[in-house]
Structure 1
Amino acid sequence: MAAPTIGVLSSLLSKLATMADQKYAKVKSVRREITFLTDELSSMNALLAKLSDMEEEVADDAQLREWRNKVRELAYDIEDRVDAFFAAAAADDDDQHPGLIRRAARKIRNLRASYQVADQIHELKARVMEVSDRRLRYRLDDCVAAASAASLAIDPRLPALFSESKGLVGIEGPRNNLVSWLMDGEFELKVISIVGFGGLGKTTLAKEVNQRVGSQFQLKAFVSVSRSFNPKKLIRDVLSQIMDPKKYGTTSGMDVEQLIPILRKQLADKRYLVIIDDIWKIQAWDLVKSALPDNNCQSRIITTTRIITVAESCCSTIKDRIYHIEPLNEVESRKLFFKRIFPTEYGCPPHLEEVSNQILKKCGGLPLAILSIASSLANKPNIKEQWEIVKKSIGFALEGTPTLEGMNKILLFSYYDLPSHLKTCLLYLSIFPEDYVIESDKLVWRWIAEGLIVREMGKNLEQAGQICFNELINRSMIEPVGVRYDGKVLACQVHDMVLDMIISLSAQENFVTILLQGYEEEVMGEKIRRLSLRCNLPDAEVVQVTSKKFAHVRSMSLFGYKETLDLYGFQALRMLDLGQTVLFKQVKNIGKCYQLKHLDLSFTDIVELPEEIGTVQSLETLDIRYCKRLRMASTVGGLRKLVRLLVDYTVVLPDDIAGLVSLQVLSCASYNSIKFMQGLGQLAELRSLAFKCWNPDWDCDAVMYKKVSVASLRDLGKHKLQHLDISDDDAILDTLMCSSSDCLFPHLQKLVLSNHNIQRIPTWIGSLVNLSHLEIVVKTTRQNDLFTLGMNLPCLLYLKICRLYAPVERLIVQNQGFRCLKELYFQCWCPLGLAFAPGSMPWVQTIRLWFMPCYKSCDHGVVGIEHLTQIRLVDVETNMQVKSFEAVITAAVANHPSGPELVLRNSFERAAAQKKNWTEVETASGTLADPLQAPRQKHL
């Protein structure tokens, strides 16, 4: 697979272009060699791009695979050398020595370094020439051309079209739902799109619906599109099933423009059912849509796809429906599995129960996977050891067992269809253990640190990375976990079968090396590029196994139990994640990792960040959240490339932070230094800030501290600040919050104010026209405040108000108030007085109410829920049972035409439930469980 190779070559070519302009290139021989390397590698990259586009055809060509592997390793080695050159140059530039003698000494050093670079580049040139000669010698370009003309293998989805209904499991419910949607009596053309991951049974379900209702249509056709979309073939396939054979023969020489009018004429006055199976591109649907007329004859179209955006394109009108096909549940999975192996579904002997459950868990409800593995086991003796072998080798067995080859091809179809950069991003997920919940933001930052994200026009790297993450979800390659009110997916998981596939592909590419206890020598290649360490070996044993290969490790992620880590010898390390390493306390020689860009020590027991961290000038992300005993290094303030600094409130940051000139994200910190606040205001790139202001030391001038803090925040607001979270129990920023009517933060999108001394909602908040998220704690809220928020914040999607005092008037959300709001959280320590007027909050889907009534009767309550037309969830929490209020809210929700869900909970019960399930993900609100309470995840 060529995708990772293309990724590293693209990054390398960009760096070589930069290197050509550096001081090392002043030596003519160096400049010539760099030009030669660039030209040769560009030519190789072009051929690799062809290989990536036709991986399915060339996967079995040994010569192409071997050449591709050589190019990949060569590109890695060259990039490591180039990065080392850059690091040395940056260190020399930072050495600002005055004086004539020292300047002359520096010139001599630079000249000597230039010739050293020339020697190393000459060595690399020899390797590049060797790889290029091999390409010519074996005529690899001809191999690629021949492979592209080769015929494709038999479509592994064909058996689904001819399977017997009696052997299917879990099909009745989905089939009946689709039949009821299709046969609703409406005369207009209706489209139903079945969407889901490969192997879930989309084709089988469409075929079952066709068999159930097909006889009620005058004309019907069932055609497959597949990845290799051929417009002419698609139209001709439909015509061949609805047209008289004699007339159809006359269309053989026609092109698409001639065929479409013929098809439309055939269907013009007929009730038809056309099923278009396996659509991969929106363009394919556009063609289908243009060829199938809306003839007002109760005609129907069914499409199947793995891609959500394609399904949405098919179902573009209100009458159309998208059906998200779900995996089989546990009962259905067991039934399908055992029916294939034993005479009855209850025939599994007791000694195979446990291993059967483990196999079914790995299948994750995919019918195709269950049937494929069951077919493999059906021919084996019912011996537990034999079944254990199959379970352990499921991922690898996909490649070599005939009964599993169809499953392998189904999974690979989705992989092959990915653009090369998405293939690389997907393979990267093989780093994480099975069932691991991967936070989207952390994943994007890791992709960026390793150079896997390419900047797109008009977007920064983080935005481009988020697009890649969303596209993998759109293509059903990863499963979303936790969807926020604005649609942002907070985390993901990888299906076990997909994980097995990408682990296998990563091993072939030497992309990720997984170090498991007892399997060290088996899984390691000649050089380790990315290491996923999942064992509890003592440090000495780990070093003994891997010491010769550490010099090439670019990425290391630890999942297990370790106390210390010595990074001596990790010259190429760019990403280090110890955030899931239990009992981790110390890191040594981190200053040797001069290329390190991403360092995650969150949730560890580390007590000290070494002062040498200041020498790691490439560092862009430093995550040390929830390290309760950590003592911060004073040298952190000198990390000029640091973009994200994530700390805990208990960590004391150095006073001198003005040197963090690239810093964009700072959270969650607490400060008590005037110098710190002065430096904070100088961080012109800062766009996300979360901090807690403590009361200054007695020796500090409180008035000056307050003045400096306000001035710094005003300065940040003038620049790029988009997210601001302030917790200030001592009202140090009370002036900023309550006494100004200016637009302090014109670019602000998220604002969280937890100052318990704020009297009312500040008037200047109403001027934040870009604000989409607002959380505020106030002593009281009046109708005018709610009116200001509801009418003046056109982008507001999430609103949380915590009101501390008793209301002096009922709060009414007026007509057209909060026109875009998706979620409302209203918290009050007194009886509620909240009402929704007709036409208010037209898009709100979730309302959360928390209150602690002063009396057991609640006369105010909540009025007008029936006016919220899009409401899906009403979540009410109180500290006691208030029967009158519960009766009113229950009746209001029960009578709502949309039938929203109602959750009534007691605060104490909720606390107990959270304690029982620490890893809960609240998908309704789109927020992950509190990481302060969540224990470290163990996936060993």
Structure 2
Amino acid sequence: MAASTGVVSSLLSKLATLAEQKYGDVRRIRREITFLTDELSSMNALLLKLADMEELDPQLKEWRNKVRELAYDVEDCIDAFAHHHRLSRGDADPGGLIRRAARNMKKLRASYRAADQIHELKARIMEVSDRRLRYKLDEAASAAPAPALAIDPRLPALFAESKGLVGIEGPRSTLVSWLMDGEGQLKVISIVGFGGLGKTTLAKEVNHAVGAHFQLKAFVSVSRNLNPKKLICDVLSQIMDQKDYGKLEVEQLIPILREHLADKRYLIIIDDIWRIQAWDLVKSALHDNSCQSRIITTTRISTVAESCCSTLKDRIYYIEPLNEVESRELFFKRIFATEHGCPPHLEEVSNEILKKCGGLPLAILSIASSLANKPDIKEQWEMVKKSIGFALEGTPTLEGMNKILLFSYYDLPTHLKACLLYLSIFPEDYVIASDKLVWRWMSEGLIVGEMGKNLEQAGQIYFNELINRSMIEPVGVRYDGKVLACRVHDMVLDMIISLSAQENFVTILHGHEDKFAGEKIRRLSLRCNRPDVEVTQVTSKKFAQARSISLFGYKEMLDLQGFQALRVLDLGQTVLFKQVKNIGKCYQLKYLDLSNTDIVELPEEIGNVQSLETLDLRNCRRLTLPSTISGLRKLVRLLVDYTAALPEEISGLVALQVLSCASYNSVKFMQALGQLTELRSLAFKCWNPDWYFDAGMYKEVSVASLRELGKHKLQYLDICDDDAILDALMCSSSESDCPFPHLQKLVLSNHNIQRIPRWIGSLVNLCHLEIVVKTTRQNDLGTLGNLPCLLYLKICRLYEPVESQQFIVPNRGFRCLKELCFQCWCPLGLEFAPGAMPWVQTFRLWFMPCWKSCDHGVSVGLGIEHLLELKLVDVETGYGCGKREVKSFEAAITAVVANHPRRPALVLRRSGERSAVRKENWTAVETNMNKSLFDSSTVRQSLQKESRDSSTVKQRLQKQSRFQT
């Protein structure tokens, strides 16, 4: 239902905009638009009602599908009309009677043609509306019976035998230690995790382990649709004598419960909380006494857990999937009664099935139960493996698992359902960059603007909410808590693929063997993992109505003739791709990703794609961009590499906000760059112009342009190379002469400035700083330490400090810093005073001891033990001296870290010995911010702590009027 309501809502918004505009003298169009708006608004009201129903009558489902496909066709017609009207309005010079007459005639013909199409669609709408009345669908929806009472799929977990559980001992011991710590005040522990991970089972096991120590106990489950009276009555019935509480209201029940708990040591377990409001009710009903009472909650939603655990003594436990060994043990015990009973010929297929389950105990048990009654024949197991997921939804043993997963989906708001279904486009185990996903959502109209936020900010909120609800798994977290990417659990992917197919939201094809004979394709995901088989030939006849095409496989060329509805074209994972034809005909295209392909030249007609907002050309070798891209007046993001050849004239990119990573040594290009006043993010490589005939002019223009950008909206600046230009920018003598007052991120790489410029101290919004300096002074730390919002600092020092060999980080300043990277070629000379950098969690040290330092010996007096929040120490040593000195240094670092009170993780490596890190598809700039990939538990813990830390920092900053929170 998410797809249907989403497309109609998007269409209504367009119709409202269209109704406000004037289209010549064709009043007929305005009348038809009014009619369409009224009819579709009425239909959307019923669709929204149906969206809350988990099961639909076949008649209602068929009517919904008709409305959805009709809305798609109406939107295509409206978009085509708007495009031709804009084209005819601007295709001629305003002067000249004949030209004006020709332009008006062309516009009039387009208007009448659109009016005829709209009239045909109007007839279809009337037919759908008549069917709604004829079959009394509104009454059918209102009178739809409640779903038949089914067994709660969580119920078996309450009665599972402890001896059959796997991987429970560690989590149970941790929770028992938290519960029995002797704390007198009421403590809340919340267990958080994805549906099917075993939260209920773990809570039950903890209850058995510690229940005898409490005077009163209760274990109640909360449904998605909270019934406050039932919840309170369920607790009362387990801790008091049976009475008829049903006659009392909630306001009367809560005082009874609070009075009974006032002087008792109690343990209350509230299982599967979905709403913060449900917790507020529980909290108001349970007495906060001093009898060592405890509350355990389980939830799938991180923000609910954080609401439950609002005090410092409360704890959140993020339950993790089973590891490989535990998964095999649980799987084989269920089928063969012993973990070693698997026949050799079933080992391979078993491993593939377990990979699909992804450590989800419910999935492992459900699939194992379906296999337990099958013969040990490999072919039959292969059939089960291929059909795992919602293709097996008719299998009784899997119904409980499917319902558990669907609970989370049904609880999503309508707009999030559509965004989740969109993820079915990507293959299994695909790592999806958050910025890529958000901009694709935006291009397809899946994001609704919120008050005070632009679409990109709203999209990031959507992304974070899906993580918060455990629907997607976070991959990689930056120092500021931003999740860089995500992946989808295989079981969730199966679910959304099934739901997406039901709503014709995404169509997945795998190559020549596919024969598509269904409804019009709206979103196409083409996949082929075999290098000897090219993906299915895309033809306009089959796929002309596609809004997005994503290719994952092998293809050399793509012809887009006839793809006028296309909004998103993603070829970023298409091997050998070299050429795209007729792209100029895709006038609705907003997102074009050609990254990581072999394309070397964009066609001139790219300039005709006037709707284009994102153009991603990263990792395309020796790419040449035509001069026509300067006409893309709606282009917001241009992502290229330093090797790309950009045209000199880019001033026409009036909407450009992100340019990464450009390079040019032309005065004309630098002049045009300074005119892009909307630019907020610039990663730029300055060529050394020594050979250039007018190096002085190039330097003067470059500095002027960068300063001009700094006056406007520039927030992120990454400049590489060229000493002359950067020296001119750095030479300001005072804080008041700051060239970039709005900066939030500044990266000065491969450039050796003499010292840290004074104006950096005025960057009150700066969160990220990377800088290379020839030497440092102790008072430079004061400049950097006073930056109120600095979260990340990478400083590379080439020579020894001026005053002394010791570089002491004082106990003042750096009050918000989370990550510190320090590089040096000279004797280390770095020390942290007690109380220094109180929030630093990651310390990265790159040290290449020179021969001089080796002559004096290498000492490690870092004072790391004073960094009280430290979690990771990452040390890399170079080849500046012999192995003996490096080993001595590493031993000293190891000893220092081992004595740290928090025992942070330690990573030691030498230059050239970096472990191979799998290439992820987020930007190199973001990846360099945080090389470490965190698992989902670490990410959520980090996000939670970020929330708490940020509130603490905010309180501090509010005391200082010049600091901006």
TM-score range, shorter chain: over 0.9
- Residue of structure 2 in register with 1:96 after alignment: 92
- Residue of structure 2 in register with 1:525 after alignment: 518
The reply on whether 1:900 has 2:904 as its aligned counterpart is yes
- Residue of structure 2 in register with 1:435 after alignment: 429
Query: CA 1:330–1:920 in 2, change beyond 3 Å: closer, same or farther?
Result: farther
2:930 to 927, 930, 933: 927
Q: Deviations over 1:407-439 (max 9, x none)?
A: 000000000000111111111110111111111
Give the deviation of 1:697 after TM superposition: 7.7
Q: Provide the rounded CA distance (Å) in 1 between the counterparts of 2:545 and 2:920.
A: 36
Give the deviation of 1:654 after TM superposition: 0.9
- Residue of structure 1 in register with 2:107 after alignment: 110
Q: Provide the rounded CA distance (Å) in 2 between the counterparts of 1:879 and 1:870.
A: 27
Taking structure 2 as the reference length, the TM-score comes to 0.92
- Residue of structure 2 in register with 1:347 after alignment: 341
2:168 to 161, 168, 171: 171
Query: CA 1:890–1:698 in 2, change beyond 3 Å: closer, same or farther?
Result: closer
Q: Deviations over 1:13-62 (max 9, x none)?
A: 111111113333742221111001001111111111112223x2xx2421
2:81 to 85, 89, 111: 85
Q: Provide the rounded CA distance (Å) in 1 between the counterparts of 2:634 and 2:825.
A: 46
Give the deviation of 1:328 after TM superposition: 0.8
Is the contact made by 1:682 and 1:712 (CA closer than 8 Å) also made in structure 2? yes
Is the contact made by 1:709 and 1:733 (CA closer than 8 Å) also made in structure 2? no
Is the contact made by 1:279 and 1:305 (CA closer than 8 Å) also made in structure 2? yes
Q: Provide the rounded CA distance (Å) in 1 between the counterparts of 2:352 and 2:657.
A: 45
Q: Provide the rounded CA distance (Å) in 2 between the counterparts of 1:5 and 1:820.
A: 45
Q: Considering only aligned residues, what root-mean-square deviation do their CA atoms show, in Å?
A: 2.1
Q: Provide the rounded CA distance (Å) in 2 between the counterparts of 1:133 and 1:614.
A: 45
Is the contact made by 2:546 and 2:566 (CA closer than 8 Å) also made in structure 1? yes
Give the deviation of 1:270 after TM superposition: 0.8
Q: Provide the rounded CA distance (Å) in 2 between the counterparts of 1:643 and 1:918.
A: 26
- Residue of structure 1 in register with 2:747 after alignment: 752
Q: Provide the rounded CA distance (Å) in 1 between the counterparts of 2:858 and 2:419.
A: 56
- Residue of structure 2 in register with 1:391 after alignment: 385
1:556 to 549, 555, 572: 549
Give the deviation of 1:303 after TM superposition: 0.4
Paired letter, 1:96: A
2:356 to 362, 386, 392: 362
Query: CA 1:397–1:882 in 2, change beyond 3 Å: closer, same or farther?
Result: same
Is the contact made by 1:757 and 1:778 (CA closer than 8 Å) also made in structure 2? yes
- Residue of structure 1 in register with 2:696 after alignment: 703
1:315 to 295, 309, 319: 309
- Gaps of at least 5 residues in structure 2 are 880-884, 934-965
- Residue of structure 1 in register with 2:582 after alignment: 589
The 5 A counterparts of 1:768-807 are 768-791=763-786, 793-807=787-801
Q: Provide the rounded CA distance (Å) in 2 between the counterparts of 1:909 and 1:697.
A: 36
1:203 to 196, 200, 203: 200
- Residue of structure 2 in register with 1:934 after alignment: none
1:330 to 324, 327, 342: 324
Q: Provide the rounded CA distance (Å) in 2 between the counterparts of 1:491 and 1:596.
A: 24
- Residue of structure 1 in register with 2:870 after alignment: 871
Is the contact made by 1:918 and 1:929 (CA closer than 8 Å) also made in structure 2? no
Q: Provide the rounded CA distance (Å) in 2 between the counterparts of 1:301 and 1:858.
A: 56
Query: CA 1:929–1:195 in 2, change beyond 3 Å: closer, same or farther?
Result: closer
Give the deviation of 1:4 after TM superposition: 1.2
SS for the counterpart of 1:756 is: strand
Q: Provide the rounded CA distance (Å) in 2 between the counterparts of 1:539 and 1:497.
A: 30
1:417 to 411, 415, 424: 411
The reply on whether 1:685 has 2:684 as its aligned counterpart is no
SS for the counterpart of 1:882 is: helix
Greater displacement, 307-316 / 878-887: 878-887
Give the deviation of 1:728 after TM superposition: 2.2
Paired letter, 1:788: T
Give the deviation of 1:343 after TM superposition: 3.3
Query: CA 1:145–1:693 in 2, change beyond 3 Å: closer, same or farther?
Result: same
1:814 to 805, 810, 816: 810
Q: Provide the rounded CA distance (Å) in 2 between the counterparts of 1:859 and 1:241.
A: 67
Is the contact made by 2:433 and 2:921 (CA closer than 8 Å) also made in structure 1? no
SS for the counterpart of 1:850 is: strand
Give the deviation of 1:885 after TM superposition: 3.3
- Residue of structure 2 in register with 1:886 after alignment: 890
Give the deviation of 1:723 after TM superposition: 0.3
Q: Provide the rounded CA distance (Å) in 1 between the counterparts of 2:862 and 2:932.
A: 31
- Residue of structure 2 in register with 1:938 after alignment: none
Q: Deviations over 1:594-625 (max 9, x none)?
A: 11100000011001100000001010000001
The 5 A counterparts of 1:800-879 are 800-808=794-802, 809=804, 810-855=806-851, 856=854, 858-859=857-858, 861-879=860-878
1:122 to 119, 128, 136: 119
Is the contact made by 2:526 and 2:535 (CA closer than 8 Å) also made in structure 1? no
Is the contact made by 1:25 and 1:31 (CA closer than 8 Å) also made in structure 2? no
- Residue of structure 2 in register with 1:936 after alignment: none
Is the contact made by 1:490 and 1:927 (CA closer than 8 Å) also made in structure 2? no
The reply on whether 1:65 has 2:79 as its aligned counterpart is no
- Residue of structure 1 in register with 2:29 after alignment: 30
SS for the counterpart of 2:393 is: helix
Paired letter, 2:587: Y
1:608 to 601, 620, 644: 601
SS for the counterpart of 2:389 is: helix
Q: Provide the rounded CA distance (Å) in 2 between the counterparts of 1:665 and 1:919.
A: 21
Is the contact made by 1:490 and 1:928 (CA closer than 8 Å) also made in structure 2? no
The 5 A counterparts of 1:116-195 are 116-147=113-144, 149-150=146-147, 152-195=149-192
The reply on whether 1:662 has 2:655 as its aligned counterpart is yes
Q: Deviations over 1:550-577 (max 9, x none)?
A: 2101100111111111111211111001
Give the deviation of 1:538 after TM superposition: 11
Greater displacement, 541-550 / 30-39: 541-550
Paired letter, 2:665: N
The 5 A counterparts of 1:293-304 are 293-304=287-298
Give the deviation of 1:740 after TM superposition: 4.7
Q: Deviations over 1:568-593 (max 9, x none)?
A: 12111110011101111111111111
Paired letter, 2:893: I
SS for the counterpart of 1:160 is: helix
Q: Provide the rounded CA distance (Å) in 2 between the counterparts of 1:612 and 1:537.
A: 32
- Gaps of at least 5 residues in structure 1 are 931-940
SS for the counterpart of 2:247 is: coil
Paired letter, 1:463: Q
Give the deviation of 1:700 after TM superposition: 4.2
Greater displacement, 409-418 / 721-730: 721-730
Give the deviation of 1:543 after TM superposition: 6.5
Paired letter, 1:612: E
Give the deviation of 1:755 after TM superposition: 4.9
SS for the counterpart of 2:889 is: helix
Query: CA 1:528–1:917 in 2, change beyond 3 Å: closer, same or farther?
Result: closer
- Residue of structure 1 in register with 2:229 after alignment: 232
Q: Deviations over 1:653-674 (max 9, x none)?
A: 1111110011000010101111
Q: Deviations over 1:65-91 (max 9, x none)?
A: 111111110111111111111221222
Identity %: 79
Is the contact made by 2:732 and 2:759 (CA closer than 8 Å) also made in structure 1? no
1:674 to 656, 667, 672: 667
Paired letter, 1:708: V
Greater displacement, 750-759 / 236-245: 750-759
Is the contact made by 2:391 and 2:498 (CA closer than 8 Å) also made in structure 1? no
* Number of residues of Structure 1 aligned to a counterpart in Structure 2: 918
Is the contact made by 2:331 and 2:368 (CA closer than 8 Å) also made in structure 1? yes
Paired letter, 1:62: P
